Each structure stands twice: as structure tokens, then as C-alpha cells.
Amino acid sequence: MNLHRIAAVIDKEIHDALRNRYIVMLMVLLPIVFAAIPILSLTSIRQIPPSRGSSGELPPALARRLAGLPPQAQLEVFLVSQFTLLFWIAPLAIPMTIAAYSVVGEKREKALEPLLATPVTTGELLTGKALAAACPGIALSWAAYLLVVAAAHGIRLSPPALETLWGPTAWVQIFALGPLITLLATLTGLIVSSRVNDPRLAEQIGMVVILPLLGLILAQSFGILWLSGALLGVIALFLVGVDALLAALAVALFERETILTRWR
């Protein structure tokens, strides 16, 4: 792997993405939306008089886990834990869009043939494309997360809720699982993008990755499961394996000859 060539591919992808109005709009709006939802929700529950806050509205399994906390704190912890999961999804939209257009878009512009005629290897090309697609989304989701953390301190969230938002478990979710899931979505988008000739189709197929995540969010909402530190560790390890497998698969499935000769 030649790092200079990977950097050149990243540079191209970022410059190209920044000239795509749709992607720029996503880059501006998504962090705002993903920061605003938790901030507004947490601010609004701070307005509820303590007497009206009730743990009876939480799923029973969750209420048991949070037993011992004041009802207001229980609600805050519950909401914060749900919002932390939101940051798994937050970085996905931008990388999926960039990745989905990545190969198909170049093929449509007929820009892939001269690019493949350079010394760049498939591994370098896909690494550059994957990093360029994944990094902006991850960076923006981290920025949104830090905004939420700052706002949470500003509105004086209860200490247990603050610990849930800014503690080792949350860090694993935001700084490890978020990027791993983003990479998974990006690689899926790239694989699909190199096999189909419609970027929208690539994006739609790639978005299937979100479904298991929504399942996890719903499972935690209903108290079916609680994402403890140990469980998150297992998920992270699983994702490392899946990402490595997908990366190898992406290189194997990127058939230069098929892409050049069969796509019209």
C-alpha cells in the first residue's frame, strides 16, 4: 500500500464531495439535527416538574436496572442511553451517499478508466475511497456528540445521566463502535457501488446496514436488552472482524475488467 496514492484518492474524493450540493447540505444539516434532537429533548424533560417524572413509564426491565435513582434521573439516563445509540446512526448518511456514488459516479463520468490506468492498486483505491467517505461523517458525528455533552452540562443534567453520556461506555459507543459501523456501511456501499450501475440503488442497498442497528435501538427502548460495557466490547470485536472481511471482499469483488467492459 502506497500512502501517497491513498492520500491522493482521499483528496480527490473529498474535493468531489465538497462540490456536491446534496452532500454539503447533509454535512451541514445532519450534525445540527443529531445534536438538536437530544439537546431539545433533554432540555424539555428538565422542564417537567420532578413530581410528574415517573419510572413507571419505562420498560420494566429497564426500570429494574435503574431502580434506586430518582424518577427524573431514571428518565434522563434512559433518554441519554437512547441518544448515544443515535450516534451510531448519525455518521452513516454522509458516508453511504459518498460511497454509493463513488464507483458508479466515476463510471458514469467515464473517469474510472484513466484512473485504473495509473499505478494505483485496487486496495489503495478502495482504502482511499472508504476513508474519504467515512471520515467526514465520523468527524461530524463526534462534533455533534461533543455539542450534546456541552449542552448536557449547560442544562445541568443529573449526575447519573451525565455519567451515561460522558463515560467509558459512551466513549466506546461513540469513538469505537460509531466508526466501525460507519466503515461497515461504507464498505457495503462501495461493494454495491462496484457491482451496480445506479448510485441510488447502491445507496438503498447499503442502507440495509442500518436495519440491525435500529433493531438494537428498539430492543433497548423496550428493555429487551441493555447494552452493557461487556456486550459493547463483544459487538466491537465482531464489527472489527466483519469490517476486515468486508474490506477483503470489496477488493476481491472489484473486477476492473467487468467494470470497464460491461458497464455502459
Partner 1 sequence: MIRAENLTKRYDGILALDGLTFEVHEGELLALLGPNGAGKTTTLRLLLGLISPTSGRIWIAGEPMTPGSHGLRRRIGYLPETPGFWERLPAWKNLEIYARLYGVPAPRSRVMALLEQFGLADRAHDPVATFSRGMRQRLALARALIHDPPILLLDEPTAGLDPEAALEVRERLRALKGQGRTILLCTHDLEEAERLGDRVAILRTRLLALDTPDRLRAQRFGVVVAIELDGDPEPYLPRVQGQPGVIQAALRNGRLEIQVTDLRAVTPNLVRSLVEAGAPILSVTPVKASLEELYLQIIREGRGPGESG
Binding mask 13-52 for partner 1 (x = CB under 8 A): --xx--xx--------------------------------
Asked if 109 touches partner 1 (CB under 8 A), the answer is: yes
Q: Which amino acid is at 142?
A: W
CA–CA distance, 123 with 138 (Å, rounded to integer): 22
Per CB under 8 A, 119 contacts partner 1: yes
- Considering only 44, 51, 56, 117, the residue that binds partner 1 (CB under 8 A) is 117
Shortest Å distance, C-beta 248 to partner 1: 17
Cell numbers for 192:
454495491
Place of cell 446512526: 89
CA–CA distance, 78 with 62 (Å, rounded to integer): 8
Quote the cell numbers at residue 3: 500512502
118 binds partner 1 (CB under 8 A): yes
| Number of residues that make up the chain | 264
Binder of partner 1 out of 36, 45, 120, 249 (CB under 8 A): 120
For partner 1, the closer CB: 50 or 119:
119
Angstrom distance (rounded) from CA 156 to CA 166: 13
Shortest distance, CB of residue 23 to partner 1, whole angstroms?
11
Is residue 116 near partner 1 by the rule CB under 8 A? yes
3-state secondary structure of 116: helix
Phi, psi of 251, deg, nearest 5: -65, -40
- Regarding 7 and contact with partner 1 (CB under 8 A), the answer is yes
Amino acid type, 36: A
By the criterion CB under 8 A, which residues form the site for partner 1?
2, 4-5, 7-9, 11-12, 15-16, 19-20, 106, 109-121, 256-257, 260-261
